[in-house]
Amino acid sequence: MEMVRERLLDAVEARREELIALTQELVRVPTRNPPGENYREICQLLGARLRKSGFAVEYLRAEGAPGDCDAFPRWNVVARREGRGPGECVHFNSHVDVVEEGRGWSHDPFAATLEGGRIYGRGTCDMKGGLAASVIAVEAFLEVCPDYTGAIEISGTADEESGGFGGVAWLAERGYFSPRRVQHVIIPEPLHKDRICLGHRGVWWAEVETRGRIAHGSMPFLGDCAVRHMGAVLAELERTLFPALEKRLTETPVIPEGARRPTLNINSFHGGQAENEGNATGLPSACVPDSCRMVIDRRIIWEEDMEEVQREFTEVLERVRARRENFAYDIRELFRVYPSMTARDAPVVNTVSKAVAEVLGRPAGYVVSPGTYDQKHIDRIGRLKNCIAYGPGILELAHQPDEYVEVQDMVDSAKVMALALKDLLPSG
């Protein structure tokens, strides 16, 4: 191995304790979302640290974004460090929010306890461990290759767990992810240190409502039950759409295996009165429901077309209408995300792949995420196609009790990131 590459690996290795300490510091700032708390504190922690390495630091509040308010402002931090000469820019983007801790922990979720080579806590895996690894990789790179050309950016962004509208989407709308400013993006989400995530499946959320007519529950024949109408919709989904989805298979390497098929989840189902609504006796009143609502979550593989997915679902409703008297429905889109996929031979893919092989001594795997993450905004709003997720941590531990990240995984992935920087930002 080239001398400078050895020195990069050594420089990361020498920072092992610092990497642990930084991860702990980040996890100890509880940035639960919802509601989206302590964004300012964590941005300042990150900004102050990067300023010491010569980064120009911007703090940006996503004013006007959903959820932004004085009680819970959506702060983001973007730090940039120019090299000695012109060249390309490599950007590491991490979301700083975490989901609620939930129940079932045997460790304090915000203490970031180090035990048996692991750090435990909410956000260790998803994705403060990855954020810390990228910061350490950059600091090691700056020590060994101070004469690099181009620029390095690190961002800590809000709200990924709730769609990213107060974070990466907001920044992308303001040009922070335009290909003129940034050429390579690495998102250190926990896809595991030996795998490169090329993109994610798409999403279509919609709410369907069936309508009926209220009447006394003892004489339901005088009314029209909206829940029975929705029952007919469910039956038609079971009969036609679910089996049709089972037959499709993507060519892209989506993990886990089951997610290579398009999926449909019935996210919620509400008909008639809410349980115990306004009733001190705990008993409902006898009524025929005049409305039933169902929220569906359809996940879309790369080969599917968004318009076709919607048409296929509407056809289910139309088939029910053709057979059923008085069947009326509304359908309303809640949310859509197109699938995102970076080319297997994109520059950032090739570079990280080579670095993985060098550090781990085995070829990198390629995966596609079943759910979405901020790549959608970088792709669709920023129009930047050279973007991957690569970071330490085991995806399945995300959002679980006793979430943890392995210190060795963080060290290894920081080494990969440092070598990738060396290849993407040649020394002048």
For the CB of residue 273, give the shortest distance to Zn ion in the complex, in Å: 38
For the CB of residue 370, give the shortest distance to Zn ion in the complex, in Å: 13
Is the CB of 417 or the CB of 425 nearer to Zn ion? 417
For the CB of residue 124, give the shortest distance to Zn ion in the complex, in Å: 12
Is the CB of 101 or the CB of 189 nearer to Zn ion? 189
Is the CB of 81 or the CB of 299 nearer to Zn ion? 299
Catalytic residue list contains 297: no
| Residue closest to Zn ion, measured at CB | 126
Catalytic residue list contains 160: yes
For the CB of residue 47, give the shortest distance to Zn ion in the complex, in Å: 21
Is the CB of 131 or the CB of 206 nearer to Zn ion? 131
For the CB of residue 343, give the shortest distance to Zn ion in the complex, in Å: 23
By CB under 5 A, name the binding residues for Zn ion. Answer: 126-127, 189
| The pair of three-digit structure tokens given for residue 187, joined into one six-digit string | 């998102």
Is the CB of 33 or the CB of 353 nearer to Zn ion? 33
Cα separation, 387 vs 167, whole angstroms? 17
Is the CB of 97 or the CB of 290 nearer to Zn ion? 97
For the CB of residue 150, give the shortest distance to Zn ion in the complex, in Å: 27
Given 68, 101, 153, 160, which residue is catalytic? 160
For the CB of residue 130, give the shortest distance to Zn ion in the complex, in Å: 8
Is the CB of 126 or the CB of 412 nearer to Zn ion? 126
| The pair of three-digit structure tokens given for residue 359, joined into one six-digit string | 């550090």
Given 97, 159, 189, 224, which residue is catalytic? 97
Phi-psi region of 268 (alpha: psi -120 to 50; beta: other; left: phi over 0): beta
Active-site residues: which are they?
97, 160
